[in-house]
Homo-oligomer: A and B are copies of this chain.
Amino acid sequence: MKRVVVVGGGFGGLQAVRGLRRAADVEVTLVDRQNFHLFQPLAYQVATGGLSSAEIASPLRRVLRHQSNARVLLAEATGFDLEAREVTLDELPNGARSMTIPYDVLIVAGGSAYSYFGHDEWAEFAPELKTLQGALALRSRILSAFEAAEIETDAARRAAWLTFVVVGAGPTGVEMAGQIAELANDTLRHDFRSADPSGARVLLVEAADRVLGTFPPSLSRRAARSLESLGVTLALDTTVVDIADGTIDVQPRDGERSTIEARTVVWAAGVTASPLAGLLATASGSEVDRAGRILVDANLTLTGHPEIFAIGDMAAVRSAGGEAQRLPGVAPVAMQEGRHVARSIRDSKPEAFRYRDKGNLATIGRSHAVADVKGVHLWGFAAWVTWLAVHLAYLIGFENRLLVLTRWTFSYLTRGRTARVIHR
């Protein structure tokens, strides 16, 4: 019996476990510090009141209940002993200090987190939404800002409560900026009496010269136009210099540094690999790249350790030539890698991984999205419907699909967002 330990129940790890469901003589243990798989691409909708948390969080036990060769442990992996072939687990639910579990094959899929470019002190003032907790914290902040504006009598302070700055114009930043603008313009228009939410200012700050840098320039231009039509102000070629309580300092490439009074800042910029990548690199003598990702061979194993795979956002894959391939940190890459690893284990034949890019999607708001599907460019309503269909299809479970579709339908028809719990 081959003991396979999978660390991380995100897109990569879960596909690896599922891919082993019919493998003979394999016993899989999935370790995650959360008891659910988060559908992270929709976390921004939890942050803006469109969806309730459980609607994008599938319990891992439930997803794997019929896979009798798999078990789930709720714990945090904190160390690897490559000699003894053991993983150390902490944060155990029974309060025990720690335990180790043995493996014959190890798959590490720890994902990534946002990086504050060495300014971890900014995190307090500018939360991110890689995690469900982050999304819920952001929701409370964004909605509380409108509540504060409603009772604030000083005009300057009210303006600061109604100023929202999103840092980073990748897909998540674009989605957040679009959603906040819609929240202010549509959803909250009738809900307030003193503050006029449509007086809200949404600023999207990006260091590069265009939004959605991974898309073709023509689609970036279309996305920028959609954002502007929603009332988002773009600050391109602009970097963030400082963030404090209630202010953010920005520096345009050819301009003066300026301070913006804003009570709500959303962080959607640089990404860094899970600390597990560094731990694994140290233990195995592997390299890490600038983003903290561990370099793995073309077959996704660690050099000198054919029994250890690293996949998803925390891994950078070497091509046959030896240099790192530039694969984007998106769910499809992680999922294909997870399935590839499962196949390698099942067939005991580790082959080189090749990513098949099926396309790139980003939504901006109601009826606005852009899509680049193998060179075919879509935008506007057509891209938006594609986006909806793809995201519904990849959500786990028919029940969650139906719940999310129900919410989206009501939201489309009424311009309402009803999952607006503030956790005070």
**A contact set with B: CB distance below 8 Å:** 33-36, 49, 51-55, 57-59, 61-62, 65-66, 71-75, 91-96, 99, 132-133, 143-145, 147-152, 157, 161, 188, 190-194, 397-400, 402-403, 406-407, 410, 416, 418-424
CB-CB under 8 A for A191 and B421, given A74-B147, A157-B94, A406-B399 = no
A311 CB to nearest B CB, Å: 24
Distance in angstroms between the alpha carbons of A423 and B33 in the assembled complex: 10
Asked whether B62 lies within 8 Å of A420 as measured between CB atoms, the reply is yes
- Can you offer 24 A-B residue contacts whose CB atoms are under 8 A? A52-B52, A53-B54, A53-B421, A54-B419, A58-B418, A59-B418, A59-B420, A62-B191, A65-B190, A74-B422, A75-B151, A92-B151, A93-B144, A93-B145, A94-B148, A94-B152, A397-B418, A399-B407, A399-B410, A399-B416, A402-B406, A403-B403, A403-B406, A403-B407
Contacts of A95 in B (CB 8 A): 148
A258 CB to nearest B CB, Å: 24
Asked whether A66 lies within 8 Å of B190 as measured between CB atoms, the reply is yes
A161's contact among B51, B66, B94, by CB below 8 Å, is which?
A: B94
Contacts of A65 in B (CB 8 A): 190-191
Distance in angstroms between the alpha carbons of A208 and B73 in the assembled complex: 41
A394 CB to nearest B CB, Å: 17
A130 CB to nearest B CB, Å: 15
Q: Given contacts A94-B151, A400-B418, A402-B406, could you give 18 more A-B pairs where the C-beta distance is less than 8 Å?
A: A35-B147, A35-B422, A36-B420, A36-B422, A53-B421, A59-B420, A61-B191, A65-B191, A71-B150, A72-B150, A74-B144, A75-B151, A93-B147, A94-B149, A397-B418, A399-B407, A399-B416, A403-B407
A88 CB to nearest B CB, Å: 14
Contacts of A57 in B (CB 8 A): 421
A419 CB to nearest B CB, Å: 4
Asked whether B71 lies within 8 Å of A193 as measured between CB atoms, the reply is yes
A158 CB to nearest B CB, Å: 9
Contacts of A49 in B (CB 8 A): 59
Asked whether A71 lies within 8 Å of B194 as measured between CB atoms, the reply is yes
A185 CB to nearest B CB, Å: 15
Contacts of A99 in B (CB 8 A): 151
A20 CB to nearest B CB, Å: 15
Residue of B nearest to A158 (CB): B94
A189 CB to nearest B CB, Å: 9
Distance in angstroms between the alpha carbons of A65 and B187 in the assembled complex: 10
Contacts of A36 in B (CB 8 A): 420-422
CB-CB under 8 A for A418 and B399, given A147-B93, A151-B93 = yes
A54, A59, A188, A403: most-surrounded residue (chain B CB, <10 A): A54
A403 CB to nearest B CB, Å: 6
Distance in angstroms between the alpha carbons of A148 and B75 in the assembled complex: 10
Residue of B nearest to A52 (CB): B54
Distance in angstroms between the alpha carbons of A171 and B349 in the assembled complex: 59
A52, A96, A161, A188: most-surrounded residue (chain B CB, <10 A): A52
A418's contact among B34, B62, B423, by CB below 8 Å, is which?
A: B62
A278 CB to nearest B CB, Å: 23
Distance in angstroms between the alpha carbons of A173 and B194 in the assembled complex: 43
Contacts of A35 in B (CB 8 A): 143, 147, 420-422
CB-CB under 8 A for A91 and B152, given A53-B52, A54-B419, A399-B418 = no
Residue of B nearest to A193 (CB): B71
Which 8 residue pairs of A and B lie closest in terms of their CB atoms, listed nearest first? A52-B54, A94-B148, A54-B419, A61-B191, A93-B147, A71-B193, A52-B52, A59-B420
Residue of B nearest to A423 (CB): B133
A58, A161, A406: most-surrounded residue (chain B CB, <10 A): A406
A105 CB to nearest B CB, Å: 19
